[in-house]
Amino acid sequence: MISTIKNSCLTVAVCLTVLSACTGRSDTQKAADLSGNYRIVSGERDGVPIDQKELTDAIIQIRNQTITAYDKERKETFAATYTVETNRLPWQITMISTKAPEVGAIAKGLIEVDQNNVKLIYALPNGQAPMDFKAGDRQQMFVLTKTDVALPADAASPAGG
């Protein structure tokens, strides 16, 4: 009887360890998959498609805890730190602007990763956090795809230092 209880406890302990390891590895792997340089495939602002001319040649760089946008001349146009909550789908993202004119502005949104593609939607200042991937009033959404376009060496450092 005692042997059966010990075996049961050992089995439960092993299962919990394996489950924790798998869950942690899965989230870590998926979160690590965000890192890279992306081009913008499409975008929406306030429920209306953004003119493709605004998006052409822009590069979005995602690194561990930073998102930086560069225009076609590779000048930084947006920079933020971010955190991602991966405990439910879609993931929730919180970005804090590190670039003027709105340093410290907080944007809450959703992010979805599918292989080399990322879908990101977030609230603009004074907007409601989105509940799905359809940009509404005071919301902006982008569909990104990984690219091998290199950024200049000085642009490759994380925002803010």
Asked whether the predicted pLDDT for residue 14 surpasses 60, the reply is no
Task: Classify residue 6 as exposed, middle or buried by CB count within 10 Å of its CB (0-12, 13-18, 19+).
Answer: exposed
Q: Residue 33's pLDDT is what?
A: 67
Residue 157 and residue 61: Cα distance in Å, rounded? 10
Listing DSSP states for 96-157 in one string gives EE-STTSTT-EEEEEEEEETTEEEEEEEPTTPPPPSSSS--TTEEEEEEEEE-PPPPGGGSS
Asked whether the predicted pLDDT for residue 5 surpasses 90, the reply is no
Q: Which of 129, 158, 152 is nearest to 74 (CA)?
A: 152
Could you tell me what percent of the chain has a pLDDT over 70? Answer: 72
Asked whether the predicted pLDDT for residue 103 surpasses 80, the reply is yes
Q: Residue 151's pLDDT is what?
A: 66
Q: Token pair for residue 121?
A: 């939607």
Q: Which residue has the tokens 């290199």?
A: 150
Could you give the 3-state DSSP secondary structure of residue 13? Answer: helix
Q: What pTM value is reported for the model?
A: 0.73
Asked whether the predicted pLDDT for residue 134 surpasses 60, the reply is yes
Q: Which of 130, 145, 147, 159 is nearest to 45 (CA)?
A: 130
| Residue 100 or 13, more confident | 100
